[in-house]
Each structure stands twice: as structure tokens, then as C-alpha cells.
Amino acid sequence: MNFKHIVLGITGSIAAYKAAVLLRALVKKGAEVQVLITPAGKEFITPLTLSTLSRKPVISEFFSDRDGTWNSHVDLGLWADAMLIAPATASTIGKMANGVADNMLVTTYLSCKAPVFVAPAMDLDMYAHPATQQNLDRLRSFGNHIIEPESGFLASGLEGKGRMAETDDIVSVMERFFASSHDLEKKKILITAGPTYEKLDPVRFIGNYSSGKMGFALAEACACRGAEVTLVAGPVALAVRHPAIRRIDVESADEMYDAAAKAFPQSDLAILCAAVADYKPETQSEQKIKREKTGDMTLRLVRNRDIAATLGEMKQPHQTLAGFALESNDGLVNAREKMQRKNLDLIALNSLQDKGAGFGGDTNRVTLLDRSGGVMEIPLKSKREVADEMIDYLIKK
């Protein structure tokens, strides 16, 4: 973390006393740390202690004095290489998740272009409450990194999950992030994401439940590691955040096929995450189909072109091709057969039997299989965390 700029946000939790140790550890690793503290945080640890350790004035309010000077949350967000909120209370997590910009810490978070790490700290019932869990899931969906709290003895005298992660663990998470942040530098990566819509008429289509969240998480993970990403996205309600991602919006399988085939020759790695329709209607009506006039209807489907198989045939020795398999039965057998048939180097197996995995949600659970026979299980985690582990595995292999 040498020479990295880190904004350390401290909120009103009894765990704020640990922030002094955390701050010292970050400084010892060579980081330049700017402390932001909420008014409630100052009730638990003094700005004097923090400014002495960071060698910088601690920022808490928008306005420092009554002389017209003020602290710019925008400048801080641009200065940071990472923002770490530790401890993060349920209140601050809720404000971050819902854009309640009523203090300097949250406004800086909303302005921050850098990756954000959140280390929750609260009593076990507060942490387990559905509102808190929903807010954490929302932060994960924004691409934030949640450093899970530990189980243990809490300030309330109760015992359970809610204690802020230990300093060494938080520092290790930050170090691993910065160590991997440029391991895909100058690499060109193609990613497909989301569903495809195959038109029946101007208002109806055949589609599926894919949200695109896994593919977008992979695109963000690759871009954060220095890659130049081309993201071919089906119709999804998601936004791209990283400037290194070039987004190409498509609707049908044919449009996705054309975009992927055009981008692949210039790519070092392609990850085919989209849920592409296998079939499309043989004919499309130019006018809305009226059931009163049509009556019962037989729909004839024809096969779409196979994107994975085509790229597998195009693949050159220097290129790597990865895909996904969503299976309902005989997952390992079917996934390995698909990997061989389509000339993939790696396949990520999703099972419809796994609760919390697959379409629509913010979490996923996959099994990675490679051509050398390697197998790696990634347990249920946020899709961004799954994306990071999948990229780690690809780089290692």
C-alpha cells in the first residue's frame, strides 16, 4: 500500500477505539491516510489522537471555521485510491445505501470514484435485522466491498456476529486488493452479460430472467484490475461505473453474436456470461398479433447461432475463453461436456438447486472447472466477490 491515498471513515460505534490501531497499521504500510469522522464518532475517539497518528487534520464538518473555508467532499473523493469505513454503524450503512447525504462522510462516499470498503460494527440483533442486511446487499450491488464482521463478545454483553473485523484482517483485504489492482493491465477483455430478447411482434418477445448482475460484476472487477473491457450487454437495468468499460447494448441473440464475434479477435480473454436464447421465432410479425383474429397459435422456433462455439473455433493460442453453465441436473457432467464441445478453457457451473445462486439476485455460488481437470468451489458470496475469485483463478491458471 506504499504511497496509496486512503480515506478512513470513522462512525459512532464503540469499535471506534480500534480505528487508532487500524490507522497506525495503514500508515506503517506506507499509506497516506485522511481521516473523516462523523460527529457521533468524536464521542468515542478524539480527533487529536487520530490527527497525531495520521499527521493530518481530521475532517468532520463541511466548514472548518467561520472564515469561509470549507472541506470539499468532491476533492477527497478524487484524491482517494480507496475509501475505508471502519467501523461502519447500521445508521451510516443505511445512509450510504439510500443516498442520505447529511454529513461529510456520506457525501464523500457518494462522490468517491475509488473502491469502497465497509467494515460493519454493531450489536448482533442490529446486524441480523433484515433492514441492515438489505442495506448491505444494496451496497454490495453498488460494487462496494463488505468486510464481514466477526462473532464474539460484544459491548452489549451479548455474544454473536457483529464485532468489527480485526485490524490485521482489514489490512490484509486492502493489501490483496492493491496487489491485484493492476494484474490485468493492458489486457483486453470481452464480457457478455444479461438476457437476449427474441421478438414475436413489436410488443412481445421470448426472454429469460437474467439480470446481467454477474456479467457486470465481472466487467467491473476486470476494469478495476487495469483491463480494457468491452461489455456486450443485453437489455438490463444496470449502469456501468468504471471508465475503462466500453458498453455495447444489444437486444437479440443475433445482435450479441455479431458484437461478440467482432470484438473477440482483439481480446486476450473473453468471459461469456450472458444468458443467450437458444431459439428465436422463425418469423416475426410486423404488427401486434391479435388473439381475436389469430385464435390458437403454433409458434415455430429456429436455433440461434452459437456464440460460444463460434468463438471457440476462432480462438487463437494466446487467447483464453471462459463461459457459464446453468444446470438443473448432472451439473458437473454437463458442464464438462459443454466446456469440451465449445473449446472453452474454463467454465463456471451454476445450479438451479442452489438457493441464492443464479438469476436475479445479488449473490451467487459457482463451481469452476478447467480443461486440466481443476475444480474450485466458490461458496455463496456477493456476485462481485465471486467475480474477483473467478478472475484470480483465471490468472493463476
* Residues annotated as catalytic (active site), given as ranges: 208
Vertex 49: Cα angle to 44 and 54 (nearest 5): 120
Phi first, then psi: give them for residue 38, nearest 5 degrees.
Answer: -75, 160
Tell me the C-alpha distance between 14 and 242, whole Å. 35
Query: Smallest Cα–Cα separation from 149: which of 135, 157, 160, 141?
Result: 160
* Residue 238 grid coordinates: 444496470
Tell me the C-alpha distance between 393 and 377, whole Å. 11
Helical pair 47-54 and 17-28, crossing angle rounded to 10 deg: 10
Return the sign of the alpha-carbon dihedral for residues 204, 205, 209, 215.
negative
Tell me the C-alpha distance between 19 and 318, whole Å. 46
Length of the chain, please? Answer: 397
Q: How far is CA 98 from the centre of its chain?
A: 18
Query: Smallest Cα–Cα separation from 357: which of 197, 245, 213, 165?
Result: 213
Residue 87: asked if its preceding bond is cis (omega within 30°), the reply is yes
Residues 168-194 as b/e (b if ≥16 CB within 10 A, e otherwise) read eebbebbeebbebbeebeebbbbbbbb
Q: How far is CA 26 from the centre of its chain?
A: 24
* Residue 333 grid coordinates: 457432467
Strand partners, 150: 163
Tell me the C-alpha distance between 33 and 56, whole Å. 8
